[in-house]
């Protein structure tokens, strides 16, 4: 999984799996979902991320089952 924030365009890109994108769907005006050939979400792109998310503050925690 890769998370990238592009400050120049205020865009957040979260890639869950590095697979070929078969389709990109608009979730809303500023959110795009990349889908693989099986219809699974492989990435999410969020425009105007500083207004819509907690960017640039970010934390990550791995929780065991």
Q: What is the pLDDT of residues 18-45, one digit of tens each?
A: 999 999 999 999 999 999 999 999 999 9
Residue that is written with structure tokens 């389709």 in the block: 23
In a domain, 57, yes or no: no
Question: What is the pLDDT at residue 13?
Answer: 95
Domain count, the chain: 1
Stated as kind and residue range, the H or E segment containing 49 is helix 49-52
In a domain, 56, yes or no: no
Range of the domain at 40: 2-50
In a domain, 41, yes or no: yes
Q: What is the pLDDT of residues 45-55, one digit of tens each?
A: 999 999 998 88
Stated as kind and residue range, the H or E segment containing 12 is strand 11-15
Residue that is written with structure tokens 């869950």 in the block: 16
In a domain, 59, yes or no: no
What's the predicted TM-score (pTM) here?
0.85
Length of the chain as a residue count: 65
In a domain, 61, yes or no: no
Question: What is the pLDDT at residue 17?
Answer: 96
């Amino acid at each position: 999984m890769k998370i990238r924030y592009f400050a120049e365009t205020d865009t957040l890109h979260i890639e869950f799996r590095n697979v070929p994108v078969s389709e990109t769907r608009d979730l809303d005006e500023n959110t795009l979902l990349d889908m693989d050939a099986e219809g699974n979400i492989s990435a999410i792109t969020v425009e105007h991320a500083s207004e819509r998310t907690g960017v640039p503050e970010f934390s990550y925690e791995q929780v065991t089952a």
